[in-house]
Every structure is written in C-alpha cells, then in structure tokens.
Structure 1
Amino acid sequence: MDADIAHLRLAIESSVRDDHPALPPAYWRRRLKKLMSDGNLLPTQLQQIDELLERLEPGASSDDE
C-alpha cells in the first residue's frame, strides 16, 4: 500500500504543477478514494491520502509546502 501511495503522490504532484495535466484531478481523487475503500490502512496512510486529496482541491498551490 505504501508503494501505491508513493506512486500516486509523485503523479499528483506532477499533475498539480502542470498547466495542462494529462489526467484531471477527478481521476486522482477516484484513485485515492479507491485505495481508502480497499481497506486496512494504517492511520499514517490515511493521513497521507487525506493530504493528497487536499492537494487536489481547487486553488491548492504547488508552493504550499
């Protein structure tokens, strides 16, 4: 599961920096929510997914961190 989250983090970070991403934020939200629904996540994994979902919110800047 950690590898999946790491992969999604890289892809999402790249996507939010791109003015014309290949995949829309809705796609990444679906992927993250599917991970959450697949079950048995540790609290730290849930926190990481929540942070990624926040990054996908409209108006979230790639310079926030």
Structure 2
Amino acid sequence: MIPEDVENRIAKYFFHNYLPDHIMYEIIDRLTPKCINEKEIDKDALVLEAVLLIQDRLEDKGIE
C-alpha cells in the first residue's frame, strides 16, 4: 500500500493536468462557498460531490 500523502499528490497531479479546465472551475465554484461558510467542513461530502460531478461531466467523453 502506498502512503496516503503520495496517493494525494498523484491525484492532485492528474486533477490539475488532465481534468478539463471548465470542469475544474465548476468544482471550485461549487465547493468553495461550502468551505468558506461552514464551521465544520464535511470533507467526505465534498469529495463525493466532486466525484459525482466529474463522473457526470466526463460520462460522454469515454473516460472511465
């Protein structure tokens, strides 16, 4: 098993280099207010929302 911080760095690399910009901006626009306005951030809910958005937007692109 690889360390979690290594896994996160790999994921961050692909997120910033291969995810289309318009999808990345949509994720940022949707999640940022929830991070700013909440005292306790439900990180699992944020990840789930982002993953579902990515899946929905890339569904037509043949990326699985």
Higher share in helix? 2
TM-score (norm 1): 0.35
Larger radius of gyration: 2
Q: Kindly indicate whether structure 1 or structure 2 has the higher relative contact order, using CA contacts under 8 Å at least 6 residues apart.
A: 1
